[in-house]
Every structure is written in C-alpha cells, then in structure tokens.
Amino acid sequence: MPTDKIDLTITPLKKEELPKLVNVAREAFLQAFTEGNKPENVSAYLDEAFAYSQIAKEFQEAASHFYVGKLEDTIIGYTKLNEVPAQTDIHDPVSLEIARLYVLEEYLGKGVGKKLLDFGIDFAKEKGKKYLWLGVWEHNARAIRFYEKNGLRIFDSHPFPFGDEIQTDYLMRIDF
C-alpha cells in the first residue's frame, strides 16, 4: 500500500477509546521490542507500562497529550506528547517530549510514523516550544534512522530500566 493511499486521521484520544489504544499499544510494543530482548523482561515491562490502569492514569495527566492515528475508524498508531511536569527526563518547559510514538508493524514504512512525528513537531511549535526531544533504544536502528531522516539528532543518552536489565536510550532532539 503506497503512502499516499493511507488516509490517516490524527485525533485526540477519547476516554472511550482507551481500551482500543491499550490493545494497539501492547501489540505495537511487542512487535517493536520482542526481538533482542529477554521474553521475561518484555512481559514485565508490558505489564507495568502498558497496563490499562497505567495508561488510564497517564491519560488523566494534564501535561500529557495522547493522539491516535486512525485509518477509517481503526487505530493503527499513536503518540503521547509530554510537557513539563510529565516529561520523563529533561523537564525543560521550552521543550516537548514525544514519550511514545508507535505504529502497528503492517503500517511501518507507509508514512504513518512520519505523520505522527510531524504532528508532534507542529504541536510543539503551536505551544511555543523551542525543541522536541525523545528517547529511543540504542539497538532500535530502524527508529534511529527514521528520526535522523526527519531531522532529529542524538545529543545524549540515559539508562532505561527494562526488567532485570539497564538498557541505554539515546536522547534525540530537533530544534525550531
């Protein structure tokens, strides 16, 4: 399916869509992080970070903004944008964090991720932010290439607890 054939609609997540988002979030996470990780660590993190109760709690946070990418009425990707104080690492009021940007595997390479990223960049600019940043697993070469292709650059790293391991996430940013 060529990129121009995907008529993606990006809308704020509605409370009644939370169960669907949780399912998509869990599936996209499994697709992205099962390979190269211990199954028990994937399972533990999935149960912690992608439990319905956890996502519902994050949804209630005023400084977090969830947007879903839909093909017709089906959620195929989403992004979670954090302002201070919800940011996970930097806590800079002139920045916006993309805390999550996930696309279901069958839609990778079809422009969905770019549309979600561009949406986040536009959102940051509309809010008067000076830059957008995110963390990406150092072994997620596809995501790193995607972000670099779209103007983000690695500027730091931080430890990321994942089950019984401490992994490294690169911090990437784009300035406006």
Whether the predicted pLDDT of 1 surpasses 70:
no
Any alpha helices (H) in the chain, and if so which ranges?
18-33, 39-49, 52-60, 112-126, 141-149
Residue 128: give its domain's CATH number. Answer: 3.40.630.30
Q: What is the number of structural domains in the chain?
A: 1
pTM score, whole prediction? 0.94
List beta partners, residue 170: 136, 157
pLDDT of residue 93: 98
Q: Which residues are catalytic?
A: 147
pLDDT in tens, 19-76: 999 999 999 999 999 999 999 999 999 999 999 999 999 999 999 999 999 999 999 9
pLDDT in tens, 2-11: 445 688 999 9
Full residue range of the structural domain in which residue 93 is found? 3-175
pLDDT of residue 6: 83
pLDDT of residue 2: 45
CA 3, chain centre distance (Å) = 20
| Pairwise CA distance, residues 25 & 38, whole Å | 19
| Pairwise CA distance, residues 149 & 136, whole Å | 14
CA angle (114 as vertex; 112, 118 as ends), nearest 5: 120
